[in-house]
Amino acid sequence: MTTHLLRPTGRTGRPLAAVTAAAAVWALAALGPGAAEAAAAPTDATGPRPGDTCAAADLGTRHPYIKSTEVSPAITHFKGWYVTEGTTGSHTVTTSTQTTITVSVGLDEKIEAGFSAETLAKAATTVGLSVKLESSSTSSETNEVTWNFGRPGYYGVYKGTKKVTGTYGSLNCNRAQQADGSWALKWTDGPGAGSFTTYTTTEEGAVRCEDQVPADSIMAKAQTLLDCGSAAAPAAHRPGTPATPAAGDDGAVPAASAPAGAVGTRGAAALNCGAEVYKIAVPGTPLSWGAPLLADDGVRLRPSTIFSAHLDHWRLCDVTETGGVIEATLWNWGNGGCATIAAPEAAAERTILRTAPCAQDDLQRFYLYRDVPGSSKIGIQNKYTGFMMGHDRYADGEFVRQYSGGRPDGTGTYALTVV
C-alpha cells in the first residue's frame, strides 16, 4: 500500500494527513476505539483450516493460522511545534523517537521465507491491510519531517504507522479417527503457537488540537501527545521551539513408552527406549537417515548396507503420546548419540540435523505425525524450534535439515519401518 502525502494548500492552511488509496481501510471505522479484534478463524480461503483434509505428502509440513489480531495507531516520531504570525511556510522539524516497532513472529525477528513469512501474510489478509512481511523496524533515531505550515498555531509534527499484533496457531497434518471408526489425515492444532508484530506503511504529517480528525487514526494518536486537554498548552512554548511530548496403534510406532533397559545416559537418568529398532527412510527408496561418525558432521541420507554399522538404526526413547501425536527422543544405535538441532543455529532455516550426547533438552525431542494405520509414513518436528525435518534433494550424502514450514514437495515425509 503506497502512502501519498498531501501538503496543506489553499486558504485554510489546515494540515492534511497522509492518506492511501484505500481510505476506508485506513479509517477502520468498524474497529472501535483502540483496536480491531479479528475473528479467531483464518480468513485466507486458500490456506488449511483446523479439521481440513491433508495428504501423506503434508506430514512433514506445517502452516500457521491466525487466532486473533489487534490494530492500533502508533506514533514513532513526534515533536510539538509552535508557529506564530510571520513564521508560517515550510519548516523542517527534527522529531524525537517515541516508539520503535520491530517485525517479529514468536521469538524470531529474522523473517525468512517459510512459516514466519506465511504467518505475516495471513495476518495481512485477516486485517485487510498491507503490512511488512520481512525483517524490518521503524527508525530508532531522530527523524526530520518537512511540512508547509499555512496557518499559525500549535502543531504536533509526527511520523506514525498502524501497529498490527496478534496470536497465531500451528497446523500439522496427523491421522484422526472418524466417527465410523475409520481413519483420515486432518490438519490439527500442533505445537508452535505464539504472537506476532508487524506494521503498515509509515505516515507523516502535522496536526493541531482544533483539527477534526478520524477517531482511532494516527493523527488522533498524535493529537493526544499535544496535551490538547490543557488550554495553556500552546502558550507554554515559544515560536519554533519543541514541545515536550507525553509519555502408535498400528505397530509402526509405539503408542506408549515400553522400557527395554537403559540405553545411553542423560546425567544420572537412563533413556527408556522401546525394544523396536527403526529405519527412518525416504518412502520406497533405499536411502534412510544415517547418523555421523564424526561429531562435526550431520545426519545424512545413506543407503543401508552391511557396512552401515547400525548408523541407520534408531530407537524411540522416553515416548509419550498426546492427542495422537508421538513425542520421543531419537537414539542412534551406531554412535550412541541422540538426534538434535545445535543450539547456536536453532532458529535458522536449513540447519543441519546432528547427533550429540543425550541430555535433558527439548532440542533433542521430536514430534512424530503419522499416516493412517497400515502406512509407515511420518512427519518429524523438533519440539524446541517447531521446525520440520526434510531434505533439499534425494541424493546419497544429502543432509537432513530443518525447515520452519517444512518442505512443500513432500520431501519431509519419511517412512518409519521396523528393522
**Residue 109 reports pLDDT greater than 70:** yes
Position 408 confidence tier, pLDDT thresholds 50, 70, 90: confident
> SS3 of 199, please?
strand
Phi, psi for residue 122 in degrees, rounded to 5: -70, -35
- Residues 279 and 417: their CA atoms lie apart, in Å, by 5
- Predicted confidence at residue 230, as pLDDT, reads 55
The alpha carbon of 180 is separated from its chain's Cα centroid by a whole number of angstroms, namely 37
Cell of 390: 526434510
Q: What is the dihedral of CA 227, 231, 236, 242, to 10 degrees?
A: 30
Cell of 236: 507554554
Report the share of the chain in percent with pLDDT over 70.
Answer: 79
Position 292 confidence tier, pLDDT thresholds 50, 70, 90: very high
* DSSP-derived pairing of the beta strands 183-199 and 143-149: unpaired
**Residue 32 reports pLDDT greater than 80:** no
**256-263 mean pLDDT:** 46
**Residue 143 reports pLDDT greater than 90:** no
Element (H, E) at 27: helix 23-27
247 Cβ neighbours under 8 A, 6+ residues apart = none
Phi, psi for residue 117 in degrees, rounded to 5: -65, -40
Across the chain, what does the average pLDDT equal?
82
Report the share of the chain in percent with pLDDT over 90.
Answer: 65
Rg (alpha carbons) of the chain, rounded to whole number: 28
- Residues 288 and 396: their CA atoms lie apart, in Å, by 9
Position 139 confidence tier, pLDDT thresholds 50, 70, 90: confident
- Predicted confidence at residue 394, as pLDDT, reads 96
**Residue 9 reports pLDDT greater than 70:** no
- Predicted confidence at residue 185, as pLDDT, reads 98
**89-114 mean pLDDT:** 89
- Residues 60 and 406: their CA atoms lie apart, in Å, by 6
268 Cβ neighbours under 8 A, 6+ residues apart = none
